[in-house]
Amino acid sequence: MNRQFFTWAAVTASLLLLSGCGQPKTVGAPAPAETAPTPLAAVLAAPADYAGKTVVLRGKVSAQCAALCDFTYAEGAQTATIHTEAEKTPKLATGQPVRVTVAVHSGERNVVLNAVGLELLPRGGTP
């Protein structure tokens, strides 16, 4: 319990410090800024090609689980659920532009995307 509290407190403090800066807010370990995003459509069309790999997605949040355990990521008409660690994920607003680094896991029926890093991008720009 204490470890979770201190982790939550550290992440919250970091986000508060970053909120005054023009830099994106980050959680976890986002990929370097120069890493080009992979289209979500490509991952969903050929999940076996991405299984076991880490990719960067750039789009918007369209919904979030009340427990902050996952969020719905949207990129154009494509959507996917991104699973997160609740103690690290801030409350996300619908329409929030994000750049998310995900580990891709592919099974026979499902593609699972687990967030490794999350960047909250400024609103009003291109996601």
Query: CATH number, domain at 13?
Result: 2.40.50.200
In a domain, 125, yes or no: no
> How does pLDDT run across 13-69, given as a tens digit for each residue?
444 444 444 556 899 999 999 999 999 999 999 999 999 999 999 999 999 999 999
Instruction: Give me the number of domains the chain comprises.
Output: 1
Residues spanned by the domain of 114: 2-120
**Beta-carbon contacts of residue 100 (< 8 Å; ≥ 6 apart):** 30, 56, 57, 58, 73, 82, 115, 117, 118, 119
Instruction: Report helix, strand or coil for 90.
Output: coil
**pTM score of the predicted model:** 0.78
pLDDT tens sequence across 103-114: 999 988 889 999
